[in-house]
Chains A and B, each alone.
Chain A
Amino acid sequence: MAKKTEDIEVRTIAVLVDNEPGVLARVIGLFSGRGYNIESLTVTEVDPREKFSRITIVTSGTPQILEQIKAQLDRLVPVQRVSDLSLDGPSVERELALVKVAGAGEKRVESLRIADIFRARVVDSSHDHFTFEMTGKSDKLDVFIDLMQPLGLVDVSRTGVVAISRGPAGL
């Protein structure tokens, strides 16, 4: 069936998995093997006692493909639960970035001023640079990084999106 570009949606999917060797490779292999997109992916253990890891994937596709992605994830043997945070109700999404800006003089002052507006923290500095830490929605991070570009941006490290549903219910 022809895929219309206007049907493409972006979704954030949370996957709770058994933290066993190869589980991340299984998830990534599923996406590359079946031609699905990964816009962002984060993973770490969230329950050391039960040995559960949580994978947060931002992916895109037509609604039909997105349903496929969830069904394919769900049938992986070590997958405990799959939740579509974009579809199943409101959720909170955050990303953390470390942004290094090098320079001196007015540009250096300007970078600090903008960082203040964006509520970024300075986590490392010297006479020649600042490293800012900033948390927020991904598009806010994009804007901040964009503004730092002319001010001596030299390095960016981002975590990718983590997300959780709003309200009292767990995954």
Chain B
Amino acid sequence: MAGRKWDEVPTLTGSEMLIKALRDQGVDVIFGYPGGAVLPIYDALFQQNDIQHILVRQEGGAVHAAEGYARSTGKVGVVLVTSGPGATNAVTGLTDALMDSVPVVCLTGQVPTHLIGNDAFQEADTTGITRPCTKHNYLIKDIADLPRIVHEAFYVARSGRPGPVVIDLPKDVLQNKSDAYIPPQDVRHRSYRPQTRAPEATIAEAVEMIAQAKRPVVYAGGGVINSGPKASELLTRFVHLLGVPCTNTLMGLGAFPGSDPQFLGMLGMHGTYEANLAMYNCDVMINIGARFDDRVTGRLDEFSPRSKKIHVDIDASSINKNVVVDLPVVGDAGTVLEDLLTAWKARKLELDQKALKAWWAQIDEWRARDCLKFEQKGQVIKPQYAIKRLYELTKDRAPYITTEVGQHQMWAAQYFKFEEPNHWMTSGGLGTMGYGMPAALGVQRAHPDALVIDIAGEASILMNIQELSCIAQYNLPVKVFIVNNQWMGMVRQWQELLHGGRYSESYTASLPDFVKLAESFHAVGIRCEKAEELDDKIIEMIETPKPVIFDCLVAKDENCFPMIPSGAAHYEMLLGPEDKAGKPISEEGMVLV
């Protein structure tokens, strides 16, 4: 760099300043894909060693990988993509991260400022397109704003209810020079201050309400996990101290130990019988960090009609959105749990033990229905059996599980038990097929020695199959466990239940040979067709120190139960195929997704 005067304050290009800011934010890995508008950043990346760049094969994969990284570490995931198609390909991942509250900072290239609005090559209105699918976004027009905006973006992404933040970077800003770098500690956002602590009076009201309960239930969601591992510990302590039942949402699995006797399993559309009936029949509901999603509530006017509801959420807009509650508590799940515990102990409160005993007796009766039972007969592998065996054979290794979207996802949620938070990565809110494999590669990058398994369906996996090439390049020993029934299983299930068995476009013809596919991507392929071979082959998969695609051929016509049909109430759940005839689905229910 001729001409630079080394004795003066170092002058940095926008790209160099960006890298410096990322380094100061503790970033050690970026998931991205290069292109014209971001070439200056890639040049700056090339000349340093602190930040590793993982080259994905499509920008959508980069965002999911960053989500996997973020959800398994609690840190902000970072994405770097080019302008135009780079940014538009990232949109699905950004929406996914918004729906599931995942902290992601996505750097997008942009055409130079003087060309913005001129329909330049690879120009897209990135801030316009991403405004509704990000927590916040920025377009940097002046290098002087760059360090402040980068630090603000990280603050916004991780604080309050976390979410994705886009920074749009025009190429000329990346190439301009400035000596006005600002370190993170000097940046304070001018207006964004999420409330994390609830007022003492609200906490007092909450514990008094809980103390009156005869049939309480704790309903905990992803907010507990987003609050950090300490919140999960506090939740466990709280539930144990009170001796009450606890159910988790899909996003909350792992917030409370899955094998704990007080755990009722997941609730909602494919939740357990006991969890849903406990929700319906409880008299005090303690919602911590969950958002009364339609997949959880079922028919709203029949949702837990006789209970007093306490709703703890860091996002005030989640409260009273779908379900009107009796006591809103705006605050961070961990902080509120700590305050609840303190207040409960300080007041020496105790629940009515006789009533609680009767409540548990009722719950045990529901549990005795054993709603997740299935029968594995003969050599055709039942999908439930495949996932159950996968769980049994891997549980001692505390595996990280990602999933795609569909039946396999629900079976994984039902049959895997998560003892710790941050070990379960799934696309809950948006339901993005193709999420699991890129997410798994992000998880594996964050935890190189851990066992990382993407539980997949044969349809979903094809949506981001290109990332096998990325997995091979970085030698990430991700295991992809495909529950292969040759159908888009959940679509077929709904067609069977709601559309007279007219299986429109839900059969996947011409599937690839997944074993050969694996081999062509430098991975190991294993196929399993017989129940008696399953255990050995799963062990073989676990012990292979390379990426593996496990093609598990399962029964083709199995449906996912229990199921609350759309528009139905919790007590109208179907426990199995023999259940469906008596309960036709309402017309209002047909309209719902």
Instruction: A67 to B328: give the CA distance in the assembly, Å.
Output: 13
Option from B137, B190, B317, B320 in Cβ contact (under 8 Å) with A64: B320
- In the complex, the answer to whether B135 meets A77 with C-beta atoms within 8 Å is yes
- In the complex, the answer to whether B131 meets A22 with C-beta atoms within 8 Å is yes
Option from A33, A64, A71, A79 in Cβ contact (under 8 Å) with B191: A79
Q: Say how far B138's CB is from chain A's closest CB, in angstroms.
A: 9
Instruction: A1 to B317: give the CA distance in the assembly, Å.
Output: 17
Closest to B192 in A: A77
Q: Say how far B449's CB is from chain A's closest CB, in angstroms.
A: 38
Residues of chain B within 8 A (CB-CB) of A74 are 316-317
Residues of chain B within 8 A (CB-CB) of A72 are 317
- In the complex, the answer to whether A29 meets B316 with C-beta atoms within 8 Å is no
One digit per residue, 1 when the CB lies within 8 angstroms of any chain A CB and 0 when it does not, for chain B 157-201 equals 000110000000000000000000000000001111000000000
Option from B191, B300, B317 in Cβ contact (under 8 Å) with A68: B317
Residues of chain B within 8 A (CB-CB) of A71 are 316-317, 319, 321
Instruction: A1 to B302: give the CA distance in the assembly, Å.
Output: 10
Which of the four size classes fits the interface of chain A?
Answer: 10 to 19
One digit per residue, 1 when the CB lies within 8 angstroms of any chain B CB and 0 when it does not, for chain A 86-120 equals 00000000000000000000000000000000000
Known A-B contacts A68-B320, A72-B317, A74-B316; A22 and B135 likewise in contact (beta carbons under 8 Å): no
Instruction: A75 to B321: give the CA distance in the assembly, Å.
Output: 14
- In the complex, the answer to whether B191 meets A29 with C-beta atoms within 8 Å is no
- In the complex, the answer to whether B131 meets A77 with C-beta atoms within 8 Å is no
Q: Say how far B330's CB is from chain A's closest CB, in angstroms.
A: 9
Residues 53 to 84 of chain A near chain B (Cβ within 8 Å): 64, 67-68, 71-72, 74-75, 77-80
Measured CB to CB, the residues of A under 8 A from B are 1, 18, 21-22, 25-26, 29, 33, 64, 67-68, 71-72, 74-75, 77-80
Closest to B322 in A: A1
Instruction: A68 to B323: give the CA distance in the assembly, Å.
Output: 12
- In the complex, the answer to whether A25 meets B131 with C-beta atoms within 8 Å is yes
Q: Say how far A20's CB is from chain B's closest CB, in angstroms.
A: 9
Known A-B contacts A29-B132, A77-B156; A18 and B191 likewise in contact (beta carbons under 8 Å): yes
Instruction: A64 to B132: give the CA distance in the assembly, Å.
Output: 22
Instruction: A72 to B321: give the CA distance in the assembly, Å.
Output: 10
Closest to B330 in A: A71
Q: Say how far B398's CB is from chain A's closest CB, in angstroms.
A: 35
Known A-B contacts A64-B320, A68-B320, A68-B321; A26 and B191 likewise in contact (beta carbons under 8 Å): no
B450 at the interface (CB under 8 A from A): no
